[in-house]
């Protein structure tokens, strides 16, 4: 049996690929555990400067494994508890790691797959992809952070409509409403994703990680607290990658942040 998640690391770029194409990359417990393992590796490996998440096959991710859930019977609450707890641990690692995250949405994303697809700092989507909450059709509720992400991305009213009516959103519409970063032609997706991943990996990753943290906390801090956090973050950056960035700017050369 093939691994449910494939992880490769090359030139500072970790590529995490959901690998259950025969099931639409549906999330079962082995895939959730493998995703958590990959997230921990990406978080802790100093050679990783950027993380890319993609799906193998025609779908990015169909969400939770409906066959697993449908066959659970009275054990469904226990299985949901285990499955979602592991998946959420992976989501938290990916959201809080001090490295940029790029999600490469090669095809439809539904349920928890939609949540995972939207987690990236940059979300590049094939125009053939679409996004569907899917939970309501199964009598379930959102997981993977969708109820947290959607209101922040598209606003409260739009988030309510999308989740409560199980609205399917085409890639171009998702870009227009700010749900994703950019929709591109399917033939261009890998090329544009590779260029973006390289750009992020060549950037001052410590500063990007600090910026991720500042953005993440900004929704629940006061202006005064956020300003203090920005000050502290800037001072720390001043003792690190900023030395190379400023030197390169003054010397009119490209900065070399890798290895710092």
Q: How far is CA 101 from its chain centroid?
A: 6
Let me know whether 120 and 139 are in one domain. yes
What is the predicted pLDDT for the residue at 66? 92
Q: pLDDT digit string (tens) for 198-241?
A: 999 999 999 999 999 999 899 889 999 999 989 989 998 888 88
Let me know whether 55 and 180 are in one domain. yes
**Would you call 229 exposed, middle or buried from its count of C-beta atoms within 10 A (0-12, 13-18, 19+)?**
middle
Let me know whether 131 and 178 are in one domain. yes
Q: Kindly give, in sequence order, each residue whose CB lies less than 8 Å from that of residue 17, ignoring residues fewer than 6 positions away.
A: 5, 6, 7, 8, 53, 54, 55, 56
Let me know whether 45 and 19 are in one domain. yes
Let me know whether 196 and 217 are in one domain. no
For residue 16, the number of C-alpha atoms closer than 13 Å in the C-beta half-sphere is: 26
**Would you call 106 exposed, middle or buried from its count of C-beta atoms within 10 A (0-12, 13-18, 19+)?**
buried
What is the predicted pLDDT for the residue at 216? 87
Domain span including residue 195: 5-201
Residues linked to residue 64 through DSSP beta bridges, in sequence order: 27
Let me know whether 120 and 244 are in one domain. no
Is 156 inside a domain boundary?
Answer: yes
Q: What is the 3-class SS of 167-220, one letter each residue?
A: CCEEHHHHHHCCCCCEEECHHHHHHHHHHHHHHHHCCCHHHHHHHHHHHHHHHH
Low-confidence residues of the chain: pLDDT under 50: none
Let me know whether 215 and 158 are in one domain. no
Q: Which tokens go with 241?
A: 């990658």
Let me know whether 61 and 147 are in one domain. yes
Let me know whether 36 and 58 are in one domain. yes
Let me know whether 12 and 99 are in one domain. yes
Is 17 inside a domain boundary?
Answer: yes
Where does residue 100 fall: left (phi above 0), alpha (psi -120 to 50 degrees), or beta otherwise? beta
What is the predicted pLDDT for the residue at 117? 97
Let me know whether 197 and 213 are in one domain. no
What is the predicted pLDDT for the residue at 110? 97
- Determine the Cα–Cα distance for residues 100 and 197; give it in Å rounded to an integer: 9
Is 61 inside a domain boundary?
Answer: yes
Number of domains observed in the structure of the chain = 2
Residues linked to residue 61 through DSSP beta bridges, in sequence order: 109
What is the predicted pLDDT for the residue at 260? 56
Let me know whether 245 and 147 are in one domain. no
What is the predicted pLDDT for the residue at 259? 60
**Domain with 182 in it: what CATH number?**
3.90.226.10
């Amino acid at each position: 049996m093939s691994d449910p998640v494939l992880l490769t690391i090359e030139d500072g770029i970790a590529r995490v690929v959901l690998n259950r194409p025969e099931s639409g990359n549906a999330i079962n417990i082995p895939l959730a555990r493998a995703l958590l393992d990959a997230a921990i590796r990406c978080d802790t490996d100093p050679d990783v400067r950027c993380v890319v998440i993609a799906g193998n096959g025609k779908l990015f991710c169909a969400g939770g494994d409906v066959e697993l859930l449908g066959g659970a019977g009275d054990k469904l609450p226990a299985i949901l508890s285990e499955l979602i707890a592991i998946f959420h641990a992976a989501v938290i690692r990916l959201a809080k790691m001090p490295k940029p995250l790029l999600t490469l949405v090669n095809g439809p994303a539904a349920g928890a797959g939609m949540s995972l697809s939207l987690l990236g700092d940059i979300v590049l989507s094939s125009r053939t992809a679409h996004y569907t909450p899917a939970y309501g059709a199964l009598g379930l509720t959102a997981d993977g952070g969708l109820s947290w992400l959607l209101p922040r991305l598209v606003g409260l009213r739009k988030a309510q409509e999308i989740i409560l009516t199980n609205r399917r959103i085409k890639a171009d519409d998702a870009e227009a409403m700010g749900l994703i970063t950019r929709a591109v032609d399917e033939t261009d997706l890998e090329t544009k994703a590779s260029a973006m991943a390289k750009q992020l990996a060549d950037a001052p990753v410590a500063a990007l990680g600090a910026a991720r943290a500042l953005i993440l906390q900004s929704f629940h801090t006061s202006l005064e607290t956020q300003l203090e956090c920005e000050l502290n973050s800037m001072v720390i950056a001043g003792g690190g990658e900023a030395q190379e960035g400023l030197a390169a700017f003054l010397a009119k050369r490209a900065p070399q942040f890798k290895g710092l």
